């Protein structure tokens, strides 16, 4: 032990070692598993709602095939395959996500509460329909 370590030990000051120091430098990428077919970007947690369970059944996805993230997590997302991004965010946040995921299939809705209207639900189901076949091809 060096002198500094001895002094800290005598003063009963615990020393910590960072296990991932690169995170403090901004390198905190979230790597998406290749099995994930749907990424939901929403700040509220509606994973257990009946509507979301219906969406999973329609897309024939199980729990391990989707990922629920907030905006900050989504902006740190990296992947090598082409999942569908479902952005449930107001326009100001959605613009940032749209720029990041320009080449990805993207569904957009301004809020979860907007899905209570029949027109918004119809629009979502229409966006989903072509991707039901897309997901079957990638299984």
CATH number, position 122: 3.40.50.10220
Answer yes or no: are the C-beta atoms of 114 and 120 closer than 8 Å.
Answer: yes
Q: Which domain holds residue 51?
A: 38-134
Any idea which of 18-22, 41-45, 74-78, 131-135 has the lowest mean pLDDT? 131-135
Residue 6 lies in a domain: no
Residue 18 lies in a domain: no
Residue 97 lies in a domain: yes
Across the range 113-132, mean pLDDT stands at 84
96: Cβ contacts below 8 Å, ≥ 6 apart: 71, 75
Cα–Cα distance, 44 to 24 (Å, whole number): 26
Across the range 23-47, mean pLDDT stands at 82
Mean pLDDT over the full length of the chain: 83
Q: Give pLDDT, residue 23.
A: 62
Binned at pLDDT 50, 70 and 90, residue 139 comes out as: very low
Phi and psi at 82, nearest 5°, equal -120, 80
Q: Give the tokens for residue 94.
A: 């959605």
Number of domains in the chain: 1
Residue 65 lies in a domain: yes
Residue 85 lies in a domain: yes
Residue 79 lies in a domain: yes
Q: Give pLDDT, residue 66.
A: 93
Residue 95 lies in a domain: yes
Q: Is the pLDDT of residue 135 over 70?
A: no
Q: Is 71 helix (H, G, I), strand (E, B) or coil?
A: helix
Residue 2 lies in a domain: no
Q: Give pLDDT, residue 2.
A: 87
């Amino acid at each position: 032990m060096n002198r500094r370590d001895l002094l800290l030990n005598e003063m009963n000051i615990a020393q910590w070692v960072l296990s991932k120091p690169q995170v403090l430098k901004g390198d905190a990428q979230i790597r998406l598993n290749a099995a994930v077919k749907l990424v939901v970007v929403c700040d509220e947690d509606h994973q257990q709602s009946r509507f979301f369970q219906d969406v999973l059944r329609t897309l024939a996805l199980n729990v391990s095939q989707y990922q629920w993230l907030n905006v900050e997590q989504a902006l740190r997302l990296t992947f090598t395959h082409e999942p569908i991004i479902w952005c449930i965010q107001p326009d100001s946040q959605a613009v940032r996500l749209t720029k990041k995921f320009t080449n990805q299939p993207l569904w957009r809705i301004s809020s979860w509460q907007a899905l209570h209207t029949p027109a918004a639900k119809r629009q979502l189901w229409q966006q989903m329909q072509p991707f039901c076949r897309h997901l079957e091809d990638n299984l």
